[in-house]
A and B are shown apart, each in its own frame.
Chain A
Amino acid sequence: MNNHANKLAITILLIVLTVVLIPVFALRMDPREYEGGRSRDAVARSRRNASSIAVLFGELRTSMSDMMFIKTERYLHSGVAYRPHHDEQLLSVEEMGEEVDHHQAEVGHDHHAHDHSHSHDHHHADDHHHTHEHHGHAGTPTLIPPRDEDYRGFIGRLHRRVKPWRDPDKAHLHTDGTELLPWFRVMTVTDPHYVMGYTLGSWWIARYDRDMALNFIEEGIRNNPNAFQIRMARGFILWRIFREELTDMELLGQVKTDFRDAARLGIAQRPDPQYGPPEEQPGWSLFQEQDLWSACQMRVILEREFGDPERARMLAAEYLQIFPDNEVLAGILHAEE
Chain B
Amino acid sequence: MNSRAVRLIAGTVLKESLRRREMYVLVFAACSLLAIILSMDFFGLRGLSKFYREISLRVMGLTTAFAVIVLAARQLPRELENRTIYPLLARPIRRAEFLLGKLTGVLLAGILCFALFMFIFVLGSLRMHVHIPWIHFLQHLYLQVLMLAIVATLGFLLSLLVNTDAAITICTLLFLLSAVSSMMLVNLYGYMDWLGRRVLIFLTYFLPQLTLFDLSEKTVHAEQWPPLQASVLLTLSLYASVYIALYFIGALVLFRRKEL
Contact = CB atoms under 8 A, between A and B. Distances in A.
27 contacts: A79-B217, A79-B224, A79-B225, A120-B43, A124-B45, A131-B224, A144-B183, A150-B186, A151-B189, A151-B200, A155-B209, A158-B232, A159-B209, A159-B212, A162-B213, A162-B214, A163-B217, A163-B218, A164-B218, A164-B225, A173-B224, A181-B42, A186-B40, A189-B40, A208-B43, A208-B45, A209-B44
Contacts, number: 123
Contact of A158 (B45, B48, B236): B236
**B-side interface size class:** 35 or more
Interface in A138-187: 143-145, 150-152, 154-156, 158-159, 161-164, 173, 175, 178-179, 181-183, 185-186
A310 B157 CA distance: 82
A145 B186 contact: yes
A304 interface: no
Interface of B: 37, 40-51, 129-131, 143, 182-183, 185-187, 189, 197, 200-201, 204-205, 209, 211-215, 217-218, 220-221, 223-225, 228-229, 232, 235-236, 239
- Majority-rule SS of B interface residues: helix
Contacts of B189: 151
Interface in A222-244: none
Contact of B50 (A120, A144, A179): A179
A91 interface: no
Interface in A110-127: 120-126
Contacts of B213: 162
Given A158-B212, A182-B51, 19 more contacts: A75-B50, A75-B221, A79-B217, A124-B45, A125-B47, A131-B224, A151-B200, A154-B235, A158-B235, A162-B212, A162-B214, A162-B228, A164-B221, A182-B40, A182-B48, A185-B40, A185-B41, A186-B37, A209-B44
B49 A205 contact: no
A212 interface: yes
Nearest to A78: B224
A181 B48 contact: yes
Nearest to B182: A159
A186 B36 CA distance: 12
A20 B1 CA distance: 54
Interface in A209-260: 209, 212, 216
Nearest to B211: A159
B46 A205 contact: no
A323 B47 CA distance: 47
A121 B51 CA distance: 17
Given A155-B212, A181-B42, A182-B42, A162 B48 contact: no
A185 B42 contact: yes
A121 B129 CA distance: 13
A66 to B, nearest CB: 15
Nearest to A216: B43
A14 to B, nearest CB: 13
A304 to B, nearest CB: 35
Contacts of A186: 37, 40
Interface in A259-292: none
A134 interface: no
Nearest to B204: A152
Contact of A143 (B183, B204, B221): B183
A129 interface: yes
Contacts of B197: 151
Contacts of B217: 79, 163-164
Nearest to B223: A129
